[in-house]
Amino acid sequence: LAHFCADFAADDHSADPWTFLIKVIGTDGATRFSYRDWVENKPGVVHSHTWSAYEHHIRNEVADFVDCMQTGRPAPSTIDDAIVCQRIIEGAAQSIAERREVSL
């Protein structure tokens, strides 16, 4: 089932904008992807928003995700990797706020 709609006549910043959306729903889980994932609400040339200048990394992530789903190859990073990254980000924020080194 697919629905395609394109309109450049007006901006749409509503909760359900006219945009490209993919949903994959399986027996073990689901995922979604939308071009709205990298929309920036700042003035563009024609509209009141623009897209990230680094959209290629998003395309590469999606291509790798699809490859993992099609081939069964494990993802290159794990939830544990994400937790470590989050701890680093929080440590950097704490270090800036407290103006000192922090241990992770």
Q: What are the residue ranges spanned by the domains of the chain?
A: 1-73, 77-104
CA dihedral 43, 45, 47, 52 (to 10 degrees): -60
pLDDT at residue 66 in the model: 86
Q: What is the DSSP string of 21-79?
A: EEEEE-SS-EEEEEGGGGEE-S--SSSS-EE-TTHHHHHHHHHHHHHHHHH-PPPSS-H
- Tell me, yes or no, if the pTM score tops 0.85: no
Amino acid letter, residue 81: D
Task: Give the β-pairing of 50-51 and 21-25.
Answer: unpaired
Each residue's pLDDT expressed in tens, for the chain with a length of 104 residues: 444 445 555 666 666 666 667 788 888 888 887 766 666 666 656 566 665 656 677 778 778 888 988 999 998 888 899 899 999 999 999 999 999 999 98
